[in-house]
Amino acid sequence: MQGRNGLPVCVKNMSDNGKEKEQVTLTIDGKEISVDKGTTVLDAATLMGIHIPTFCWHPKLDSIGACRMCLVDVEKFPKPAVACATEAMPGMIVRTDTDEIVKARRGVLEFMLLNHPLDCPTCDKGGECDLQDNVFHYGIDKSRQAFTRRRVIDDQTTDAFDDKRIGPEIIRNMNRCVTCYKCIRFNKEIAGEYDLGAYERGNHTVIDAAPGEQIDNFYSGNVVEICPVGALTNTDWRYKIRNWKAKQTLSLCSHDADGQNIMLWHDQRQLWRATSRRNDDIDDGWICNIARYGYQYINSPDRLKTPLIKKEGKQVPASWDEAISLISKRFKEIKDSKGSVCLAGLIGGNQSVETAYLFNKFFRNKLHTNNLDYRLEYIDLKGSDETEAYNCLYRAPFTIADLEQADVVFVFGSNFIKDHPAINLRLRKAYRKFGTKVYTANPVETKSADISLDEMIYSPDTETAFIAGLIHAIIDNKYYKNIDETKAAEVKTMLAPATLDEAARLCGIEQERIVNLAKVLSEANNPYILAGDYFVASAKRHRTANGMYDLANLLGIKDSNAIILASQANSMGADRVGVRPRLTENLKKTLIDKWGEELPESPGSNTSQILNNSLDEEIDGLFILGANPAMRYPDGPFVNSALDKLDFLVVADLFETATSAKADVVLPLAGWAEQSGAYVNVEGRYQKFEKAQDADKGIKSGIEIIHSIARAMDLSLNLDNAALMHETKDIVDAFEREARDEAKFFEVKQAQIPEHDNYPYRLLVGNDIHHFGYVTEHCPSLMRFTPEPYLEISPNLAEKLGIDEETLVRIESTTGKLVLKARFSEYFEGDVLFIPNNFSATEVTGLVSREGGGWVKIEKLDDK
């Protein structure tokens, strides 16, 4: 289907919250149509192909009937009605083409043009401007304006065009504004942000940042996209290219796991911007700033463009042939002398699913090793890849849009706005439109607090105790379903701490609140439990996952409704095609079928084990494709020494990184926009993206790299791109998860909480809100939001320690030291600190141990 702006969109009518609707029949311009009850006259007309012009209407915002552009004549109504907010009624007779309506539209357009600067030649919106289009179709050709046009200028408007910067990326030109309020409505209704407002009155109304504020919220780019005119533009795209000269290519956000749909606008030379490509199943047409500006790394001048080979301890440029034959030679040597088990591979979670599959095939089927992984979190399991409970929840058949039908959602260990931008907005929508009740339990306060009925903050490292407490509450109060008392009593003995009271004390949350959550969840008809990045990054996550599994079983929560959310654009894809040491029986079978060969028998190592084994010299050759463990995996010193110990390290990446610095061979890697492929998002949804531009001649895609190494080793993979695409899709489709066994219960035992005597403050490490992974520091727009690393601290703690904002602070743990500027958190209240791990200049992971997380002491540096 085509959207109103002519772009293809995937539209699903979710306004009815999933239920079948009564039909009403009405007549528009002499033709009858039947529509769902609740449909507006505007939507009904659009369905019939009758165009009604609009400005302030937006399919995903509440109608406010402000611009009056959509007036129509309704029989028996005393005056024209706004089509955008008039509900279709049985027998209604609507006309969109009477003389009165034609005059009304012309009147509105004349009013809008009265003070509009008509600076279309220098306006970025030209060519995709609702005002241009509406005047073109419905306007008058003669101006009756005899007065000087109104200009809005204040002491911050900067140049001849009366522009004013109101955010790191956003420029406002009030002269062009048609006062449709869409920007403000989006901000409030959808994002829950109040940094943008309307000030003054009448035709002096101005859209501006709230006093002392900037429009820097995480979804702020959307206001530029929905502005019907050029009143809001962004620095990203401004004055760079006329939009009709840019080509459009269907794409996806290459960062987080939600799979937001985007459109890339580009020419031969470079990508110019990304806009949303509405998909109601995922993003409703709203994209976060990372999806919007996070494409820019592709055109970074810092891209690697020639292979590097380490000679006498220094990496020097080399030809591709030289690099590939060296890799082939050394891999062969290791394989022949020490065996396949001494080779391993790590691939980043944002490589396409085809790349991930080929990587798997190369390692398993050609090199005969099971040492491969895509996960860069620490996994605290000896001799095992992951537990049954964890895997089961991680692969739950979750659907983002179904959240709208949730009556209760319990968010466990996630700062949604950072980890899952689309799920975050869907949750906000469920809350706002359908009254979904939200509860949260996190190690720190988050933005979601404003929609959370109870925001519980548990003490560091006690998530297992928390979930054990919740299970106690369910059993003690007989809230459980599907099991009898004997079984319940048995489950209770599998918990540590052994009572609710102890569990509550350990995690620092009052018993009543835990009991209340248990009660609310047990009374809900369609409850959800969603676990996110705090959960995934916690050292004992498998223990907590056991608890989550039990909890879902006790309450009879649907299989699709209890999920541990994947983190990266293709984490789920990599999982489905088997980029991990252990495979499900079903996947094994599929692969054996496809490859016509048995799989290697060695047990295989996950990321943690690969690094350990490298340190112990049990792994000698490692191929890292688009991943940066030296910057992202906890315990930097450990990772560095593990990589140093390797005999031979190959790193393929877009940039030189902390990891590539250790490599014997560095290969320049193509980015996602330089190739076609697919990602599998957090829901398990397979989505394609297309190639937008050619990579530089010196750069190769992951697929080409794997093929060339295989060829050089005489191990042909025998798959052209089309066949690879097909085979990958087959594997993804054939994936079958083992469903949750409702009769099964696991032990839920809180682990010993690590000692950290002289290091009193918990340090959390993760993504800054405007960064993701290690490539976004190459995106100038995102750097404008957060240009440098910082120490985020609660104002309370800062006051206690006499730390002012912007002052330098020394942070020290048992494993490392750092000096950073302090920044006060909008949300944190307690003794918790945060440092983003998106900046190559700071080795944050040096402060964090693998098993114990980050515990630090901090001290203000003397201001010298």
Partner 1 sequence: MEQVFLKYIDDPNQHKIDTYIEHGGYQAIQKVFKEYQPTEVIDTVKASGVRGRGGAGFPAGLKWSFVPQNTGKPIYLACNGDESEPGTCKDRVIMENNPHLIIEGIMICCYAINAHHAFIYIRGEFAHPAARVEAAINEAYAKGYLGKNIFGTGFDLDIIVHTGGGAYICGEETSLLSSIEGSRGNARIRPPFPAVEGLYKCPTVINNVETLSSLPSIFNNGVEWYRSHGTEKSPGTKIFSLSGNVNKPGNYEVDLGTPLSYVINDLGGGIQNGHKLKAIIPGGSSTPLLMPDQIDTPLDYEAVAEAGSMLGSGAIIVIDERSCMVWVLMKLINFYAHESCGRCTPCREGTAWLKQLINRIENGDGQPGDIELILDVCDNIMGRTICPLGDAAVMPVRSFIQHFRDEFEYHIEHKKCKVETDYPFV
Tell me if 202 contacts partner 1 by CB under 8 A. yes
- How many angstroms separate the CA atoms of 684 and 359, rounded? 20
- Please select the residue that binds ligand SF4; options are 44, 108, 231, 491, rule is CB under 6 A: 231
**Which residue in 14, 35, 45, 69 binds ligand FES (CB under 6 A)?**
69
- Cα(first)–Cα(last) distance of the chain, in Å? 63
Tell me phi and psi for residue 853, to 5 degrees. Answer: 70, -160
C-beta of 63: minimal distance to ligand FES in Å? 6
> Using CB distances below 5 to 8 A depending on partner kind, what does residue 798 bind out of partner 1, ligand SF4, ligand FES, none?
none
* Nearest in space to 4 (alpha carbons), one of 50, 63, 69, 61: 50
Nearer to ligand SF4, 56 or 564 (CB): 56
Q: How many CB atoms lie within 10 A of CB 841?
A: 7
Cite the beta strand spans of 62-163 per DSSP E: 71-74, 81-82, 93-95
SS3 at position 54: coil
Q: If binding is defined by CB under 8 A, does position 595 make contact with partner 1?
A: no
Q: What angle do CA 425, 430, 436 make, to 5 degrees?
A: 135
Q: Does 513 bind ligand FES (CB under 6 A)?
A: no
User: Residue 707 belongs to what H/E stretch?
Assistant: helix 702-712
* Alpha carbon distance 653, 348 (integer Å): 10
Two structure tokens written together for 721: 């791109």
| Position 346 contacts ligand FES (CB under 6 A) | no
Q: Closest by alpha carbon to 545, among 442, 607, 467, 481?
A: 467
Q: How far is the CB of 305 from ligand FES (least distance, A)?
A: 49
Looking at residue 61, the DSSP 8-state letter turns out to be: S
Residue 181 vs 390, nearer CB to ligand FES: 181
CB of 54 to ligand SF4, least distance (A): 12
Instruction: Report what 518 binds from ligand SF4, partner 1, ligand FES, none; CB cut-off 5-8 Å by kind.
Output: none
Tell me the C-alpha distance between 217 and 288, whole Å.
9
Which of ligand FES, ligand SF4, partner 1, none does residue 177 bind to, with CB < 5 to 8 Å depending on kind? ligand SF4
Choose, by CB under 8 A, the member of 67, 232, 456, 475 that binds partner 1: 67
Q: Binding to ligand FES by residue 108, rule CB under 6 A?
A: no
Closest CB 58 distance from ligand SF4, rounded Å: 9
Q: 601 phi and psi, to 5 degrees?
A: -95, -25
Each residue 80-99 as x (binds ligand FES by CB under 6 A) or -, in order, gives: --x-x---------------
Q: Is 114 in the site for partner 1 (CB under 8 A)?
A: yes
Is 232 a residue that touches ligand SF4 (CB under 6 A)? yes
Work out which of 69, 353, 425, 835 binds partner 1, going by CB under 8 A: 69
The window from 28-36, 110-118, 722-730, 798-806 that contacts partner 1 (CB under 8 A) reads 110-118
DSSP character string of 446-502: -GGGGGEEEEEEPPTT-HHHHHHHHHHHHHHTT---SS-HHHHHHHHHTEESSSHHH
Query: Is the bond preceding residue 637 a cis peptide, omega within 30 degrees?
Result: no
70 binds, among ligand FES, partner 1, ligand SF4, none (CB under 5 to 8 A by kind): ligand FES
DSSP 844: G
Q: Does 313 bind partner 1 (CB under 8 A)?
A: no
Q: Which of 178, 680 has the CB closer to ligand FES?
A: 178
**Tokens matching residue 242:** 């006329």
Q: Enter the tokens of residue 3.
A: 């959207």
- Name the segment binding partner 1 (CB under 8 A); options: 105-113, 379-387, 452-460, 461-469: 105-113
Q: Report what 37 binds from partner 1, ligand SF4, ligand FES, none; CB cut-off 5-8 Å by kind.
A: none
Rounded distance between C-alpha atoms, residue 193 and residue 207, angstroms: 15
Q: Is residue 227 a contact residue for ligand SF4 (CB under 6 A)? A: yes
> Residue 273 has which token pair?
């911007």
Q: Is 68 in the site for ligand FES (CB under 6 A)?
A: yes
- The residue type found at 513 is R
Interaction partner, residue 229 (partner 1, ligand FES, ligand SF4, none; CB < 5-8 Å by kind): ligand SF4
The length of the chain in residues reads 864
Among 7, 64, 715, 753, binds partner 1 (CB under 8 A): 64
Which of ligand FES, partner 1, ligand SF4, none lies near 146, with the C-beta cut-off 5 to 8 A by kind?
partner 1
Interaction with ligand FES in 3-62: which residues (CB under 6 A)?
54-57
Asked if residues 131 and 112 have their Cβ atoms less than 8 Å apart, the reply is yes
As given in the structure block, the two tokens for residue 66 are 């402000």
Residue with smaller CB distance to ligand SF4, 36 or 133: 133
CA atoms within 13 A on the CB side of 316: 5
Stretch near ligand SF4 under the rule CB under 6 A, chosen from 224-232, 415-423, 449-457, 635-643: 224-232
Determine, following the binding rule CB under 6 A, whether residue 228 of this chain makes contact with ligand SF4. Answer: yes
Does 513 bind partner 1 (CB under 8 A)? Our answer is no
How many residues bind ligand SF4, per CB under 6 A? 13
CA 482 to chain centre: 36
Instruction: Spell out the residues 6+ positions from residue 844 whose beta carbon is closer than 8 angstroms to its own.
Output: 636, 765, 789, 818, 835, 836, 837
Instruction: State the binding partner of 201 from ligand FES, ligand SF4, partner 1, none, CB within 5 to 8 A by kind.
Output: partner 1
Comparison of 154 and 512: residue with beta carbon closer to ligand SF4: 154
Task: Indicate whether 394 belongs to the interface with ligand FES (CB under 6 A).
Answer: no
Q: Give yes or no for a contact between 811 and 339, defined as CB atoms under 8 angstroms apart.
A: no
Per CB under 6 A, does 67 bind ligand FES?
A: yes
- 198 near partner 1 (CB under 8 A): yes
Residues 120-179 that bind partner 1 (CB under 8 A): 144, 146-147, 178-179
> Shortest gap between Cβ of 204 and partner 1 (angstroms)?
7
Position 85 contacts partner 1 (CB under 8 A): yes
Lookup: tokens for 453: 């009925």
If one asks whether residue 468 binds partner 1 (CB under 8 A), the answer comes out as no
Chain centre distance of CA 136: 39
The one segment of 196-204, 572-580, 803-811, 850-858 that binds partner 1 by CB under 8 A = 196-204
Q: Nearer to partner 1 by C-beta: 145 or 718?
A: 145
DSSP, collapsed to helix, strand or coil, labels residue 75 as coil
Q: Which of 772, 864, 769 is nearest to 826 (CA)?
A: 769
Strand partners, 26: 33
Of residues 182 through 211, those in contact with ligand SF4 by CB under 6 A are 182-183, 207
Task: Give the separation between CA 209 and CA 198, rounded to whole angstroms.
Answer: 9
Query: Running DSSP on this structure, what letter comes out for residue 831?
Result: S
Give the total of residues touching partner 1 (CB under 8 A). Answer: 38
Minimal CA–CA distance to 54: which of 115, 134, 127?
134
Q: Is 697 a binder of partner 1 (CB under 8 A)?
A: no
Give DSSP secondary structure letters for 173-222.
-GGG-----HHHHIIIIII---SEEEES-GGG-EEEEPTT--S--TTTHH
458 makes contact with ligand FES (CB under 6 A): no
Nearest distance from C-beta of residue 90 to partner 1, angstroms: 16
Binding site for ligand FES (CB under 6 A): 54-57, 65-70, 82, 84
Binding site for ligand SF4 (CB under 6 A): 177-183, 207, 227-229, 231-232
Binding site for partner 1 (CB under 8 A): 63-69, 71, 78-80, 82, 85, 87, 103-104, 106-108, 110-112, 114-115, 144, 146-147, 178-179, 181, 197-198, 200-205
